Structure 1
C-alpha cells in the first residue's frame, strides 16, 4: 500500500504573474548573461504547465465550457504550426498560425488563480467560484480548517485576482471592495500584504482620497478605518521600516498576531510609477515582504501555506515594457532566493515544499526576428544589456509555462503529468524536457502533500484531464522512446 503520510508541513507557492517562457529567459540573460543561475534552476522537479480556462466567458455558463461548444485546451500540433498567417492581430503582425493559436481563448488571472487554488477550472473572472455559480473551497480554506496558517503576499493590490483566489470568494474579480472586505472580516489569512493604499498614489506620494473608489482595494472607507484603528483581527503596517522590521526579526510579534501590510502605494511596488521616474526608494522589496510573512507564519507549529505573487510582471507585459518587466521579474527571482534561504535556515526541505511558476503567459515575448523566424528564442546580449526581443500580443497567451519545485511532497508534481509536447525543445530551457501537467494539479499536489483530508467532491470536482503524470525526461531518452 502506498504511503499516505503527509509530507509537507509548509507549502510556499511563488507566482510570477504573466511570465511567459521568454520572460524568464530575458531576466536571466540580463541578470547573469546566461540561463541556469537562478535559485530555482537546480530544483529537482522541472517542467511545464497548461493555463487554459474552462471557458472564456466572464460569467458562469452552467456546465457549458469552452467557446461555441468547443472545449478549450492545449494542442501542441497547433502551437508549433509555422505556416505563415496573413494580416494583423490588432497592432501585431499575425506572422504564424502557431502565434494565432496561442493568442486565442486565453485565461485571465482569476480563472488561472482559481485553478491553482481549488483544483477546478472555471470561467474567466471567477474568484474561487465554479462555472455553475457555486462557491468553492480553496487551499486557504482547507489550510485554516486544518489549524495551519495562511498568507498571501503580492507586489500589486492585495485584493487583486491572484491573492484573492487564495483567500476570498467572489463571482467577479472586479468586485474589489467586497473581496477585500471578506479578506479582512473573515480573518482567514494570518498575513495579507500588498498595495492599494488609499492615501498614496502610484508614485508613493501622499494624497487625500476624494472618492469612495479610492478605498475599493482595502474593503471600503469604513472597513479600512476599522483596520487602521486596530478594531479587526489584524495589526496594520504600511511603512517600509515596519516591513523591514518584520523581515529582520526586530518587530515584536505577539502570539497569534495577524498582519495586514499595505505598502504606501495605491498601485504597485514599482511598475506603476510614472514613466521616466527612478526606482521608488520608499517601497519595500517583494523579498522583504515575503521574509516578513514567513516570520509570522512560521510561528504556527502546525505549518502554513504561503502564496507570493510578482503581480506587476503581468502589467509590464500588457504594456510591452521590456525594462519594467525585467525589473519585476528580477525582483521576483530575488524573492525566490530569499524563500530558499528561509527554508534552509529556518525550516528544511524535509518539511517544506516550494513551487515556482506563473499563472499564464503574457506578451508572447520572443527573439528580435520572431516575426519572420518562427519561435525564435529571446536573444542573449550579455549581463546588464537589454536582451533582443519582440512582442506579439499585449494580452495573455495559451502557451505552456515553466514550473519548478523542490522539497517535501514535490514528487507529487513529478507524478502529475505524462503528457508530452515535442515542440518544447524550441525553448532555450531545453534541459527542462518535453513533459507537462495541468494547472489544477498544483492544488492537488499541495493538498495531498499537506494531508488536508478528504475533499468534498461536490465542492471540488476533479477535472476530466487531471491526474496525468509528469517526470523529467531528457531529450535523449525521449528521442530513443
Structure 2
C-alpha cells in the first residue's frame, strides 16, 4: 500500500468503546462483538474486519540508566503473560478470577502492559518491558516500521492529542530505555542528536501534538541532559528545527489571541509551498488537548479517585480558541505528507482516552473516544476524496485497557 495509517485509541478497551457508543446513540445497542454506533464501528466504505489481541509485556520492573541508555536488570521483576482460561477468551466475557487481569493473582502474578511496551509491539513487533521505547528486554535497539519505510522513500507523520513524545507517539519512531526521557525522545522525532542517537536520526516529516506550555525546572527521570523549561522540547531545540533558524520544520504553536486551527492551516500551506516539514505544538495545562466531554460542551466533571477525587478541569475561552482538535491535526498531517510523497505512513493517536481512564473520568473518556472517532471520520472522508482505498491501509486499534466495568449500561444512554 502507498498510504498506511495506524490509528491508536490509547487505553480504549472494549468496554470503553461500548460506553462511548451507548452515550452517542442513546441506546444500549449491543452486548458483544464489534458493536455499532461509532463511525469506526459502522464504516463500510471498504472491506473491513474486526478482532482483538493480547498486549501483555515481556516483563515489568526493569531497572535502567537513562544517561548511559542501558538496562541494568534484564528480565525485571515480574514476567508478562496471559492465560485465556483465567482472563477470558474475548474482551466482553467477564472473568470469575477478578484479580488475574490486573496482575494481582496470589498464585500466578504477572505484569500487565503499559503504553510503551504495547506501542513498541505495535510499531516494532516485539514484546518488551514496561517503559521501553523500541528496545528489547535487554535494552538492545529495535527498528520501528516507520523508519524502515522511511528508508524506502515513505514520508512519516505522527499526530497525538497528548504530549508529542509520550509513549505511543515516541514509539512510532524513537528509541530509549525509558519512556519518561521526553526531551530526548522529541529529539529523535525531530532529527536532533539525542542521548540514544548522538548522530541524530533523520526525523519525521510531520509531528503535531500537545505539551505546549508544560514547564519544569527539574526532571530526574530525563537524566543529566535535561534542559529546564518545556518538559518535552527545550527552547533551543525548538529554535533549531524551525525554518526561521535554518531548520527543516515550519512551526505552528499555540499563539495568544489567534485561532489554533488558523495557525495550523497557515503552517500547512507554508510547508507545502516551501516543501518543508511541519511541526505543530498545542495544548493546555496538563499537557493534552481540551476534552470535548460526552455531551460536547467542553465542561468536564470531576475525576473520581485515582487515588483521590480531583477537581474538574476548567477551560478558558482562550484554551478552546487557541487550540486545535485531533481532526485538525490528522488532516494537516495528511495534507503535508501527501504533498511530499505518494507514499506515506501516519500514526494518529487519541491519547487522551487513556488519560481520562487513568483518572476514572467517564465523561472525559467518552468525549475523547468521540473526538477520536470524529478524527477517524475526517480521515476516511479525505481518503474517499483522494483516490479511495485501493492504495490505502488503515489499522484502528487500542493498545490496552483499564478494566472498566459497566454494571448499568442503560444509565449511559440518558
Give TM class, smaller chain.
0.7 to 0.9
- Shift of residue 177, structure 1, vs aligned partner: 1.3
Per the normalisation by structure 1, the TM-score is: 0.65
The Cα shift of 1:135 comes to: 1.1
Q: Cα deviation per residue 1:122-150 (whole Å; 9 max; x = unaligned)?
A: 11111111112111111121111011111
- Structure 2 Cα separation of the partners of residues 319 and 247 of structure 1: 32
Partners in 1 of 2:387 and 2:263 — Cα distance?
Answer: 20
Aligned match of 2:253: 238
Task: Show the counterpart of 1:380.
Answer: 410
Structure 1 residues 80 and 289, CA, compared in 2 at 3 Å: closer, same or farther? same
Q: Does 1:197 align with 2:236?
A: no
Partner of 2:238: 224
Equivalences for residues 220-299 of structure 1 within 5 A? 220-227=234-241, 229-239=244-254, 241=259, 243-244=261-262, 251-252=269-270, 253-254=272-273, 256-265=275-284, 267-271=287-291, 275-278=312-315, 280-282=319-321, 283-299=323-339
8 A contact 1:16–1:313 mirrored in 2:
yes
Question: CA offset at residue 62 of structure 1?
Answer: 8.7
Tell me the secondary structure at the aligned position of residue 339 of structure 2: coil
Tell me whether 1:214 sits opposite 2:229 in the alignment.
Answer: yes
Instruction: Note the aligned Cα RMSD (angstroms).
Output: 2.9
Provide closer, same or farther for how the CA distance between residues 152 and 355 of structure 1 changes in structure 2, counting only shifts above 3 A.
Answer: same
- Paired residue for 2:108? none
After TM superposition, the structure 1 = structure 2 runs for residues 11-410 of structure 1, keeping only pairs within 5 Å, are: 11-33=4-26, 34=29, 35-41=35-41, 42=43, 44-59=48-63, 65=75, 72-80=80-88, 97-104=96-103, 105-184=111-190, 185=192, 186-198=201-213, 212-218=227-233, 220-227=234-241, 229-239=244-254, 241=259, 243-244=261-262, 251-252=269-270, 253-254=272-273, 256-265=275-284, 267-271=287-291, 275-278=312-315, 280-282=319-321, 283-362=323-402, 364-368=403-407, 379-381=409-411, 383=413, 385=414
Q: Which runs of 5+ in 2 are unaligned?
A: 30-34, 65-70, 104-110, 193-200, 217-225, 293-299, 301-310
Contact preservation (8 Å) 1:128, 1:170: yes
The count of corresponding residues between Structure 1 and Structure 2 is 342
SS in 2 for 1:291: helix
Deviation digits for residues 248-293 of structure 1, max 9, x if unmatched? 9983422532101001435100149872525842221111110111
Equivalent residue number for residue 207 of structure 1: none
| Pair 46,29 (structure 1): closer, same or farther in 2 beyond 3 Å | same
Instruction: Measure how far apart 1:63 and its partner are.
Output: 10
Contact 1:113/1:359 (8 A) holds in 2? yes
8 Å CA contact 1:247–1:291 kept in 2: the answer is no
Structure 1 residue 196: deviation in Å? 1.3
Deviations 1:420-478 (CA, angstroms, capped at 9, x unpaired): xxxxxxxxxxxxxxxxxxxxxxxxxxxxxxxxxxxxxxxxxxxxxxxxxxxxxxxxxxx
Would you say the 8 A contact 2:87–2:100 is kept in 1? yes
Moved more, 121-130 or 190-199: 190-199
Change (3 A) 1:115 1:181: same
Return closer, same or farther for 1:135/1:250 CA change in 2, 3 Å cut-off. Answer: closer
Q: Shift of the alpha carbon at 1:58?
A: 3.2
Cα deviation, 1:386-429, whole Å, max 9, x if unaligned, reads xxxxxxxxxxxxxxxxxxxxxxxxxxxxxxxxxxxxxxxxxxxx
Question: Match of 2:347, SS?
Answer: strand
Unaligned runs of 5+ in 1: 1-7, 82-94, 202-210, 369-377, 386-481
Between the aligned partners of 1:324 and 1:107, the Cα distance in structure 2 is: 22
| Pair 337,212 (structure 1): closer, same or farther in 2 beyond 3 Å | same
- Cα deviation per residue 1:170-192 (whole Å; 9 max; x = unaligned)? 11111111111222223421100
Equivalent residues of 1:243, 1:292 under 8 A apart: no
Is the 2:161–2:326 Cα contact (8 Å) retained in structure 1?
Answer: yes
Q: Offset at 1:365?
A: 1.2
Task: Give the Cα separation in 1 of the matches to 2:24 and 2:177.
Answer: 40
Find the residue that maps to 1:281 and give its secondary structure.
helix
| Aligned partners of 2:62 and 2:72 also within 8 Å | no
- Partner Cα separation in structure 2 for residue 243 and residue 294 of structure 1: 15
1:271–1:324 CA contact under 8 A, matched in 2: yes
SS of the aligned residue for 1:140 comes to: helix
For 1:101-138, what per-residue CA distance to the aligned partner results, in whole angstroms no more than 9, with x for missing partners?
Answer: 11111111111111111011111111111112111111
Give SS of 1:308's match: strand
